[in-house]
Amino acid sequence: MTPVTIGILSDTHLSQPTETFKKIADACFHDADMILHAGDLTDPAILTVFSGKEVHAVHGNMCSALSCQHLPTHKEIRVGGFTIGLIHRFGNTYDFESRLSEIFPEADCIVYGHTHRPVCHRLGGVLYINPGSFTGTGYSGAGGTFAILEVGETLQAQIYQIQAKL
């Protein structure tokens, strides 16, 4: 299998793509074959920045009515021999990660957003990724973060800090 590079972001909270957002998104995801947006993009226009790439997105709790009409609450994507679950949130923020397997029982990887806290770890053989907030709306004024998932013979992911401010 040819390796696939997936750029992952969440919680952009923008009503339209700004020039700064476009530049930073291009710098972060220029090598990505596919983009996953884990919700709270606010408006679907944000996804136009990724033209030419395969894009999968879900809506979040802060999305416009248009986003909620056009994007699902969750979805599964097959990449290579792996199943990736994509969702913004599920239930209480306190314990929802442990409950995501209820929605994605066959998933090899589950990508979620909402908390603005980046996460990249394995639990029970499943890789969990929360890219944090791309626009730097994290706790204590933290800068933006995103994730890159490499899909090949295995799944490997890493969280990155955005150097510029949006």
Global pTM value: 0.93
Give the pair of three-digit tokens for residue 109.
């990887």
Per-residue pLDDT of the chain (166 residues; tens, 9 = 90+): 789 999 999 999 998 999 999 999 999 999 999 999 999 998 999 999 999 999 999 999 888 888 989 999 999 999 999 999 999 987 666 667 778 888 999 999 999 998 888 999 999 899 999 999 998 765 555 679 999 999 999 999 999 999 766 5
Q: How many CB atoms lie within 10 A of CB 106?
A: 9
CA–CA distance, 39 with 45 (Å, rounded to integer): 13
**4-161 classified as CATH 3.60.21.10:** yes
Residue 136 has phi, psi (to 5 degrees) of: 75, 35
Question: What is the chain's length?
Answer: 166
Q: Using DSSP bridges, classify how beta strands 119-123 and 145-151 pair: parallel, antiparallel or unpaired.
A: unpaired
